[in-house]
Chain A
Amino acid sequence: MSSGLDRRWIYLAMMLAVALPILWNGVTGKTFPESPTPPSRACFDAIEALPEGSRVLVSFDYDPASEGELAPMATSFMRHLMHKRLKPVVIALWPLGPTKAEETISNVIKADFPDRVSGRDFVNLGFQTGNEGVLKVIGTDFRKQFPVDRSGTPVDRLPIMEGITKVGDFPLVITISAGYPGGKEWVQYVSSSNPGLVLLAGVTGVQASQVYSYYPGQLRGMLAAIKGAAEYEALVSAAIDGDGVTPPRYTEARRRMAPQLFGHLLLIGLIVLGNAMFFAQKRFKAVAR
């Protein structure tokens, strides 16, 4: 009986549940209000606590498949860092990470902070293969793994890298990760061996339940899925824009909360409907017997 509902109706319902809120967002420009949960608030506070000019290691550990969830986090992190006049040093443990990093740099730094200079105020050191092997080595010798930046300039010549010899020299590390290697590996190989280092992670919903186990010990703050991204984005917008209008590219996460709401409601509806049909069928069989 429950299998009597053609799955194409379910697909159509899901398409409408996601598409209509997107259209509503596009027409009205409205988003739902967000009240930050402690892990998202902790991310915001950790960045706020850094003195101006501090260097922050940001690892782009994702690819286009997870862009929907993670790119808004990357954008918000970068905007917050730039607004606080902090200096992001970008690396990637995923082969396609550097391209995602370049997109974020282009959308945030080059668009809104054109006075910031590559090599002095920020730098993209690119991808290094080796997964947790890379993390193990940068624990003692950062330049061994990342000897040049993405354009081939030796890091010894980059002002932003002065005095940086190991990962522990960064007061704050942010990983934006979609799986392996990602948040878990950063905790195991970097956070655990550098007790003074503050580690923040932005992770996908699938990873969140696992990475949550490290919060708030080894992981000071965490953005869990698009909900975490929306909460953090709201905090950053409130700090930077105040009551003014936030540019649309800085509301991406919050705009995705409406499709998420209706998608979740549809899921709940389908589960309830499936169960109702299941129990009705069971009762029908019992009566027939």
Chain B
Amino acid sequence: MSRSIALLICLVGGLTMLVSPFLPMATGWANDVTDWFNILAAMAFVLGGGSLLKVQLMRLSSRGPGWGYSAVTLVAFIVTLWVGLGKVGVVADPSAPAVAWSGKADDEGSAFWWIYLYVMTPITSTLFAVLAFYVASAAFRAFRAKNLEATLLLATAFVILLGRTFAGVVLTGWMPDWASGLRLENLAVTIMDVFNTAGNRAIIIGIALGVASTGIRLMLGLDRSYLGGDA
């Protein structure tokens, strides 16, 4: 029974979204369905938090490999949650200076703002920046001109790497106007404009067709994998 209800909700929701662009009267219905989706998306944050707690606590209690990381994750999660929900250190809003909690949780000066600025920002920026080192190491070890395709890929990479910097101008800026298309910075644009765009559009159209067929299968109940189990 519960599966039938889920399938019905899927069918009604999918059909509503499908017909709304063609029927003006259905625009409001589509917005309602989207509202349900947004409410579910907000609830997913709560579920995600619960799932994170459960998984990390299990790993911690079993003392499995890397349990120390789980402890750090749990402490970070709980402290951030407490600081955010409890509005720790929040400066009162000027419109209600007598009410200590009237400010926003992430206003400048609050504990949440401090965590964001001095913990989260440096950590995420560092993780992203570290990629440069891994890319350099991987390029040295793995990028080989073993065959024609790999050689073409290498040549393209060189044109893009040089064309997207001032090196392109220095190396090929001397070329006369009639051969300007061969300047590295222009070659890089041509590669993006022609080869990259053609390949990507083909992929995008392929994905769109796949999404459409999957959508129809979901609405008709032919694909029930999202229900979990052996449905």
Contact = CB atoms under 8 A, between A and B. Distances in A.
A261 B168 CA distance: 10
Contacts of A5: 140
A144 B35 CA distance: 9
Interface residues on B, range: 35 or more
A225 interface: yes
Contact of A99 (B34, B116, B143): B116
B161 A268 contact: yes
Of the candidates B133, B143, B164, B189, the one having the most CB atoms from chain A within 10 angstroms of its own CB is: B164
A137 interface: yes
A96 B201 CA distance: 31
B200 A130 contact: no
A193 B17 CA distance: 14
Interface in B176-201: 185, 189, 192-193, 196-197, 200-201
A12 to B, nearest CB: 10
Interface residues of A, number: 62
Contacts of A37: 185, 189
Contacts of B120: 64, 96
A150 to B, nearest CB: 7
Interface string A253-289: 0000110110111111011011100100000000000
A225 B133 contact: no
A10 B137 contact: yes
Nearest to B42: A129
B140 A274 contact: yes
B37 interface: yes
A201 to B, nearest CB: 14
Contact of A35 (B93, B154, B164, B169): B169
B219 interface: no
A271 B140 contact: yes
A5 B197 CA distance: 37
Contacts of A107: none
Given A37-B189, A267-B135, A213 B140 contact: no
Interface in A89-134: 96, 98-99, 128-131, 133-134
Interface stretch (A65-73, A154-162, A233-241): A65-73
Contacts of B121: 64, 67
Contact of A3 (B124, B141, B162, B192): B141
A208 B137 CA distance: 23
B83 interface: no
A20 to B, nearest CB: 14
Nearest to B197: A213
B35 A264 contact: no
Of the candidates A130, A258, A271, the one having the most CB atoms from chain B within 10 angstroms of its own CB is: A271
A185 interface: no
B104 interface: yes
Nearest to A14: B136
Contact of A257 (B136, B139, B166): B166
Contact of A10 (B35, B106, B140, B164): B140
Interface string B98-121: 000000101000000000100011
23 contacts: A7-B137, A10-B140, A11-B133, A13-B136, A33-B169, A35-B169, A64-B120, A130-B37, A144-B31, A144-B35, A208-B192, A212-B193, A212-B197, A213-B200, A213-B204, A224-B192, A261-B166, A264-B167, A267-B161, A268-B162, A270-B139, A271-B143, A274-B143
- Counting from the closest, the 3 A-B pairs by CB-CB distance are A130-B38, A65-B124, A32-B166
Interface of B: 21, 27, 30-31, 34-35, 37-38, 41-42, 45, 93, 104, 106, 116, 120-121, 124-125, 127-129, 132-133, 135-137, 139-141, 143-145, 154, 157-158, 161-162, 164-167, 169, 185, 189, 192-193, 196-197, 200-201, 204
